[in-house]
Chains A and B, each alone.
Chain A
Amino acid sequence: MITTTAIESTAELTEQERAQAARLEAVWREPTGFWGWFKAVHHTTIGKRYAVTAFGFFLLAGLLAGGMRLQLAFPEAHILSNDLYNQFFTMHGSTMMFLFAVPMMFEAMSVYLVPLMVGTRNIAFPRLNAYSYYLYLFGGLMFYVAFACNTGADRGWFSYVPLAGPDYGPGKRPDFWAQLITFTEVSGLAVAVETIVTVFKLRAPGMSLNRIPIFVWGQVVVAFMVIFSLPGVVLSSTMLLMDRTCNTQFFNPAAGGDVLLYQHLFWWFGHPEVYIIFIPGAAIISTIVTSFSRRHVFGYLVLVLSLVATGFMAFGLWVHHMFATGIPQIAESYFTAASMVIAIPTGAQVFCWIATIATGKVVLKTPMWWAIGFFFVFIMGGMTGMFVASVPVDLQVHDTYFVVAHFHYVLIGGAVFPLFGAITYWFPKVTGRMLNETLGQLTFWLFFIGFNITFFPMHLVGIRGMPRRVYTYQPNMGWTTLNQVESLGYVLLFLAVCVLLVNVSRSLRSGAIAGPNPWNAGTLEWATSSPPPQYNFLHLPTVNGREALWDAAPNQPIVAGLPDDARSFLITRTLDAEPEGRDEFPGPTIWPFLAAVATSIAFIGSIFTPWGITIGAIPVAITMIGWFWPERQPAQRRRAREIWQSE
């Protein structure tokens, strides 16, 4: 029987609690040793791996950007050949979008933080979670091994046909790009399913829908967007791959195919993608602004509804990436309207944040600096967004450096600034140690100034007529000085990231011990020790308000009665989060890793022969059988288990 009992809050653990902690420790311990690494399924372990891997890809893509800035610093330069430059910008874009932004902002954040924030012991479907991580890792490795072998994708992160098609894309470069999409999208879809189930069924008792932290709301909205948008790009990249290797005619105009079909499918995903990256950023800003303004966020309902509205509207404006293809005027009007109207929910969020600041007590620690930087940068990106939303203006600025500036302001402003804020904010939770405040602010100022020096001139050079994706330009175009300024700004960005890395590595070794709640923040992840134990919470918490810790009653009850001899968890109802039943998480196992290896072999094999998928399905099936082979003990426990029904 699961009940919630009030406890006396004491700092010291009682004898009984210590015994319970030991039992939980024994049940939840992650396997150790070399093979243990491949068996781990706990969400904090996988979440950390996601974050470190995604950050690694961020650094790689950043270095590629440095190569591009070097090449563009001089007109008609030959530092990179045109062939290499095309690979650089394609790798940069694809990495940032598919291997950094989505895995970092959605997958890493969601996997690590959402179960903690909703007060449960693991993410739903933990083995699927491990599988999704390995697929993501292998996809990224494949992409970069191919790049090292001179097979880096070179047709742009969008790989439009026919340029990436069989007739104009010789070799295997676009095929590797297409399969990178498959890898990352399978892993993204898996995490989306886990997130939705975790949030809707695994919340702590009392965390009804209107008390879910905004960060978690953001991740749920993104999870739904992932489920609805990613099939579009999986479809288009698979059709591209089939055109290239199976000689289908999807995109062959002479045989009744259509090159525009590709663009529609791609942007059906590609536009929501921008919001998939930005919504977690907005959710982080809500969290940081709340914690550092020392008050409940202003306009909770407005913020949540804005996130949901943005999620819906994001699907109604994909065509604004295709205005220049010449679409009917009525469609232009619709998509212009949709693209401009989406500014309204974003505006609502900005006003709510400012209202929170205006009525709170602002503590200017590093995460708050990043939030303030976010306002300066992201709002600028939103403003230039109005230019590209308007069809006539877009016809002038589309595919120029103006757009490059615009989306770097939106994506770096909307994702990287919040992310760096999030790193400083949650680093103590993940590692148990604080980051250095001085170095943190130094990173911020270097990054903020470097960012603006790099990207602001791009607006100007774009208006002066410089198109995107050019490997060089001519000296008499009047673009040289601005490009050189941009390249200098890159140096500051580079230094900023170096300082961040120094800060992280110093803090890992000798940072100040953080304690459970260094920011005195209100959400549930701060209720447990830093770093959290493998079982997350000694006592599963209950919730009494939007900021669980701030609103906790003096004798806030805890969940009692879950057996601690198995990986049990509490299932609650979707709307009011009343306890509904309990179930068990599966334990660590090697099978997800093996299944991911088998799946990767099938995916990579299909680059070279269409039979790759057919034959590759056999090992995938074998590993999946191993994965789902029933185990006796949990099955017996499950049969014997009483299902607790609320009244």
Chain B
Amino acid sequence: MILFHVPGFRGNQTSLNPVGPGAEHIEFEFALIFWITVIVYCIVLIALVVYVVRRRHSLNIMPEPIRTTPESDRRARHAVGAAMVVTVLLVFTMLIGSFVSGHALGKMNRQSAYTIDVYGHQWWWEVHYPNDEPDKTVVTANEIHVPMGVPLRIHGTSRDVIHSFWAPNVQGKRDLMPGYDTDVMMQIDQPGRWRGQCAEYCGEQHAHMSFYMVAEPAQQFQQWLAQQAAASVSPSSPQVTRGQQVFLSHACVMCHTIRGTPAGSRVGPDLTHLASRSTIAAGVLPNTIGNLGGWILNAQSIKPGCRMPPNHMTGTELQDLLAYLETLK
């Protein structure tokens, strides 16, 4: 496993940099298969090269075929037989390793797990934190805050085509399919932002459908949750008030929700706490005011084919709208 600890494989979207038990079990099996196959590959090919060199016939014409007898092949027969026995043993070693890690993955505690609902959309992720009190249910998008060290039950399905939920540092992937509910257990033990991406081809913008899992200490997570459950803040300055009017009187309102305002459509991501998210457009752009402005004016130039239409507005309108969106912490 030491071999994998090179900088290239330490990223935040790499299965060889596990940050939770799920990905750790898988890395164990990965390493087992890796070492067995590397050794076998080298032995087989060295044998091949040695024999080719040793048995090479330098004549430029094709020599007459050799007469072989069972006697002359006896040594080769023994060697092949031995190689087959070793192959079978190694295959079963890898098989058992696979069962062991598969079993470990299946054993993760479902009872005490914290449940998060994930819904795949073309081309973004809708995330729900269910709560027994409906008004405390949190809805957000593309950024999944989770408590550290707690077993998580990611319950998912798709709203349209098949997507695949995959954060390699945390756990293997799981397809989200229309007509099926699916559960996958995971846990993150290291704080940080772990990137994930849709891994099942889902159409025009499959390439731009990523998300972040943000692992933080339980207390910090609870704070975040409480803050997300609140409605949006009311405008505090004239510009922000004008911005809210722009939002409500333009096409934005046809698709997006901002809790605490009349905007309540569920076609696009919930924007109630847009400014608290670090990226926009499903992890494509950092959430800066410039990017947000560009995205609003012409999302199609950034993510062609996505559902967000280009929006025409005057410079002042855009400035006001951005000022408003910036307040949605």
Contacts and interface: CB of A to CB of B under 8 A. Distances in A.
Say if the two chains contact directly (CB < 8 Å): yes
Interface of A: 81-83, 86, 155-156, 160, 162-163, 168, 253-254, 257-260, 291, 293-296, 298-299, 302, 324-326, 329, 332-333, 336-337, 340-341, 343-344, 347-348, 350-352, 354-355, 357-364, 372, 375-376, 379-380, 383-384, 386-387, 389-400, 460, 463-465, 467-474, 477-478, 518-522, 547, 550
A112 to B, nearest CB: 22
A204 B271 CA distance: 77
Given A355-B76, A393-B33, A295 B65 contact: yes
A398 B87 contact: no
Contact of A296 (B33, B68, B87, B162): B68
B76 A298 contact: yes
A357 B48 contact: yes
A357 B91 contact: no
Given A259-B178, A393-B29, A398-B199, A383 B162 contact: no
7 contacts: A160-B201, A259-B162, A390-B33, A391-B102, A392-B105, A396-B26, A396-B168
Nearest to A296: B68
Contacts of A391: 98, 102
B106 interface: yes
A324 B36 CA distance: 25
B107 to A, nearest CB: 10
B244 interface: no
Nearest to B53: A362
B284 A474 contact: yes
Given A354-B48, A392-B105, A294 B63 contact: yes
A472 B25 CA distance: 31
A308 B202 CA distance: 37
Given A393-B33, A467-B198, A520-B65, 14 more contacts: A82-B305, A160-B200, A163-B162, A163-B201, A302-B80, A354-B48, A355-B80, A358-B76, A362-B56, A384-B37, A392-B29, A393-B30, A395-B173, A465-B14
Interface stretch (B5-13, B215-223, B235-243, B316-324): B5-13
B84 interface: yes
Contacts of B284: 474
B59 A360 contact: no
A463 B171 CA distance: 13
A361 B55 contact: yes
Interface string B77-118: 101100110011001001101110111011000000000000
A556 to B, nearest CB: 16
A359 B8 contact: no
Most buried by B among A254, A258, A259, A386: A386
A163 B72 contact: no
A550 B66 CA distance: 10
Interface of B: 8-9, 11, 13-16, 23, 25-26, 29-30, 33-34, 36-38, 40-41, 44-45, 47-48, 51-52, 54-57, 59, 62-66, 68, 72-73, 76-77, 79-80, 83-84, 87-88, 91, 94-95, 97-99, 101-103, 105-106, 122, 160-162, 164, 166, 168, 171-175, 177-180, 182-184, 195, 197-207, 284, 304-305
A341 to B, nearest CB: 7
Given A259-B179, A383-B41, A460-B8, A465 B33 contact: no
A253 B106 CA distance: 27
Nearest to A391: B102
A464 B94 contact: no
Contacts of A295: 65-66, 68
Nearest to B31: A393
Nearest to A163: B161
Contacts of A354: 44, 47-48, 51
Contacts of A396: 15, 23, 26, 30, 168, 172-173
Contact of A344 (B33, B68, B88): B88
B182 A294 contact: no
Contacts of B11: 464-465, 477-478
A243 to B, nearest CB: 14
Contact of B102 (A82, A302, A329, A343): A329
Contact of A81 (B25, B29, B304): B304
Contacts of B26: 392-393, 395-396
Contacts of A156: 201
Contact of B51 (A357, A395, A547): A357
Contacts of B102: 329, 332-333, 336, 391-392
B48 A372 contact: yes
Contact of A351 (B62, B73, B84, B98): B84
B87 A253 contact: no
Nearest to A159: B201
B95 A399 contact: no
A254 B2 CA distance: 49
Most buried by B among A168, A391, A465: A465
A392 to B, nearest CB: 4
A324 B41 CA distance: 28
A282 to B, nearest CB: 15
Given A391-B102, A392-B105, A162 B184 contact: no
B292 to A, nearest CB: 17
Given A347-B84, A380-B41, A464 B66 contact: no
Contacts of B168: 396, 465
The 5 lowest CB-CB distance pairs between A and B, nearest first, are: A395-B172, A253-B179, A465-B13, A470-B207, A383-B37
A326 B55 contact: no
A265 B152 CA distance: 33
Given A340-B94, A393-B98, A396-B30, A372 B52 contact: yes
Nearest to B163: A163
A361 B87 CA distance: 27
A399 B199 contact: yes
Given A253-B179, A363-B59, A344 B87 contact: yes
A340 B91 contact: yes
B57 A344 contact: no
A261 B180 CA distance: 12
Most buried by A among B52, B68, B195, B284: B52
A363 B51 contact: no
A517 to B, nearest CB: 9
Contacts of B56: 362, 364
Contact of A358 (B9, B55, B203): B55
Nearest to A550: B65
A217 B21 CA distance: 48
A347 B45 contact: no
Given A324-B173, A398-B199, A460-B8, A351 B80 contact: yes
B304 A82 contact: yes
A399 B195 contact: no
Given A162-B162, A372-B48, A379-B45, A519 B84 contact: no
A584 to B, nearest CB: 37
A359 B9 contact: no
A86 B175 CA distance: 20
A359 B203 contact: no
B98 A336 contact: yes
A298 B55 CA distance: 15
B197 A253 contact: no
A438 to B, nearest CB: 13
